[in-house]
Amino acid sequence: SFDVSTASFVDSFSVSSQEAKPYDVAFNTDGTKMFVVGYITDAVTEYTLSTGFDVSTASFVDSFDVSSQEAKPYDVAFNTDGTKMFVLGVAGDDVNEYTLTTGFDVSTASFVDGFDISSQDGEAEGLTFNNDGTKMFVVGDADDDINEYTLSTRFDVSTASFVDSFDVSSQEVRPRDVAFSNDG
């Protein structure tokens, strides 16, 4: 597992009816929900998959407009139970936090607050959290680095503080996203 050299193409699913410039995709833990974010509609679009992680079984459910907080959303992430959603973009250069009263249902989302990351990078495009939400990582396209933050309250961006950054410019001059194995 986690060996891309063994990968083979299976299927695809077009989201062009909802988003012409998709930038990120996220799934719930069992793969029965898929979320796409893009900056033409400035929305997080939700799909249901009748078979977990099989995009050929996806169907559109709803969209949640984030344009009041971010005009160019590039990334979306969730906490493990889907009651928190995070949207990152290059226009606001911040991580926007939303609460979902029903986990992984974007129609129940409401904005909580944002965390400004412009001191670390002027063009943030990728976002991820560790499993327990005590660490947040933001990829910056302007500085070509991965910025690490500690959250004193799990999945609460208002408690985030910058720790350090890791320069990836020797490998990539336009990094867009970051991901980790399950154990970090």
Q: Are 99 and 105 in contact (CB under 8 A)?
A: no
- Write the Ramachandran bin of 172: left for phi over 0, alpha for psi from -120 to 50, otherwise beta: beta
Mean pLDDT of 9-20: 94
pLDDT at 95 over 70: yes
User: What's the rounded Cα separation, in Å, for the pair 177 and 168?
Assistant: 12
- Cβ-count burial of 4 within 10 angstroms (0-12 exposed, 13-18 middle, 19+ buried)? exposed
Q: What is the mean pLDDT of the chain?
A: 92
pLDDT at 177 over 80: no
| 92, 76, 143, 154 alpha-carbon torsion, rounded to 10° | 90
Provide the whole-model pTM.
0.92
Angle at 170 between CA 122 and CA 90, to 5 degrees: 20
The tokens describing 95, both together, are: 């991580």
- Write the pLDDT tens digit of every residue in 98-116: 999 999 999 999 999 999 9
Check residues 121 and 85 and name the one with the higher pLDDT. 85
> What is residue 160's three-state secondary structure?
strand
